[in-house]
Structure 1
């Protein structure tokens, strides 16, 4: 069963690796078709913007094949289902994780369980929120439970604390009774971090970060550093950790961390992790646990999730320039043309 679907669709994509000039938008991308009995096609309403797309565009992460359609998450309406799909029907609203969501239509398989069914009466605002929340929200939630189990009283360094993941990390870590030391590049962003519960603030543009960490921790260092920046901050994160501290490196906004000898971890018995969300939500049980916990925390008001700006799909190039240029805070999202 399906609704009428056009042969081609509007999408944002690249045909080769490179900078902003390689980003294309037009309506020439073929619309997906049901090819196996467990597939569905979603007509997208909103798609969350994430920094990871810059890594694919630049070749830091492999894209597989071209054209590469950007996007990792979205919300929308099911418009076609395979014969063996029992738990979804045409007309259902869902939010989901998948590649290729910066397009009017995306095909996913229900064997890949990374979706949640939304209420039939979901508003446009609901669809915007849930089409933009999952990737960053689940990243923060899994990391503080599995990459480093945050404990009450811990001192935790959060880089890019006013960014999408950083804002959620700051709130969730604070809720656990730990002390967030927030790092951001402007006083405006640090004000947001403080509003989200950060106990200590460091301006990366003007402050001596290591010196401030020592001051805030009485010279001991932090229990863990959640570092999304990468190459430029690796040594600072390492030097800011206490003995037996944990280094969570999960981003490359300044470029990938360059080769280093493991011996640099030895003097303080540092634990180093390089986690990715998808490896924490492999099974149906893991997905159900973390996605339901995230929704519960959001609905109970345990953390705020605000969308800083909504761009039209055709304006993704500007959106990622704003994001990569550190001109934004919180979440950016795309409105998909209907």
Structure 2
């Protein structure tokens, strides 16, 4: 069988993304073959393309998709041919029509959730889940607590705004334009700060009566790191889970001491979904909050797979909001 797929032969800019024909065979032990209906676009895809996260070449890109299982390999118990399914998974290769892949991180998609929503929600929704439910300050998070969430109008951010509100947390979101700030507020943020027009750390201190926040969730990286540290109260947690502006330079541990015995972590989704059981438990939590209506998945942009280069350009230029899908 043949499938269209997006491949790079060397690290570089969006111009390196090429659509090619690849052969797809039968699934082996622990694998499935899935025919995609929609594909998710994520910042991690641009990191893998650029070489910030280096891979051996050639590389098929894409970490997230939804579709229909065509065949299952030996030992796969939780899926069968004909099942609707969605995933966020290694190895990359989701930018395609059809693929064989490990079954471990693939989950049955509830009938109430569309393929497009499934493709948009898995990587970003599971990321929001592990941040708000598992990546917690030493004192925990209780209803009424303030947290700071950078890039609040992005795919993870808009899900986090809604989920934090459902948990009773007061999320302070940052974004680069007034329109994006309004979007964050519309999705449940308690406050929104345009970090392009002022000192966000000072505004966070003002909002919290000088106390600071218990936790900062930062996918921007280099440009926001110092300010994020300054937003934290004593024993606060900074979780840097992305590098939108570039990787954070080396940090002096003395800074964490002098700023109030702070905690710093660099979590990844793939550590959290390392087992089949963990993946399913997190996905069940995500599916439940989406099916309840407390969290809606905002698919704001759609690009045909043939326009994948433009999709990457727009994502890196901060022209997108919410979730983006590639259509087949």
- Bin of the TM-score, shorter chain as denominator length: over 0.9
User: Please, what TM-score do these two structures have when normalized by structure 2?
Assistant: 0.93
Aligned residues: 322
Q: Distance in 2 between matches of 1:214 and 1:281?
A: 35
Residue of 281, 285, 289 corresponding to 1:293: 285
Secondary structure at the counterpart of residue 11 of structure 1: strand
In 2, the alpha carbon distance for the partners of 1:85 and 1:179 equals 42
Cα deviation for residue 93 of structure 1 reads 2.0
Residue 97 (structure 2) pairs with residue 104 (structure 1): yes
After superposition, what is the alpha-carbon deviation per residue over 1:8-53, rounded to whole angstroms, capped at 9, x for unaligned?
32111210011122121233xx223226233221111111000001
Question: Could you list the per-position Cα deviations for residues 56-106 of structure 1 after superposition, in whole angstroms to 9, with x for gaps in the alignment?
Answer: 11211122x222111101111222333544543333221122320001112
Q: Distance in 2 between matches of 1:35 and 1:194?
A: 45
CA deviation vs aligned residue, 1:235-291 (integer Å, no higher than 9, x gap): 010111111111011110000001122111011100011111121122233222211
Structure 1 residues 67 and 97 mapped into 2: Cα distance closer, same or farther (>3 Å)? same
Is the 1:150–1:176 Cα contact (8 Å) retained in structure 2?
A: no
Listed as ranges, the matches of 1:273-312 within 5 Å are 273-312=265-304
Aligned-pair CA distance for 1:296: 0.6
After the TM superposition, which parts of structure 1 deviate over 3 Å for at least 4 consecutive aligned residues?
Answer: 83-89
Instruction: Flag structure 2 segments of 5+ consecutive residues without an equivalent.
Output: none
Deviations 1:279-332 (A, max 9, x none): 112223322221111101000011111100111111111011111101110000
Distance 1:288 1:9 in 2: 28
Mapped pair 1:19 → 2:19: no
In structure 2, which of residues 105, 108, 115 is the aligned counterpart of residue 127 of structure 1? 115
Q: In the alignment, is residue 217 of structure 1 matched against residue 203 of structure 2?
A: no
TM-score (norm: length of structure 1): 0.91
Contact 1:152–1:177 (8 Å) recurs in 2: yes
Aligned equivalents of 1:225 and 1:87: distance in 2? 36
Question: What 5-or-longer segments of structure 1 have no aligned partner?
Answer: 1-5
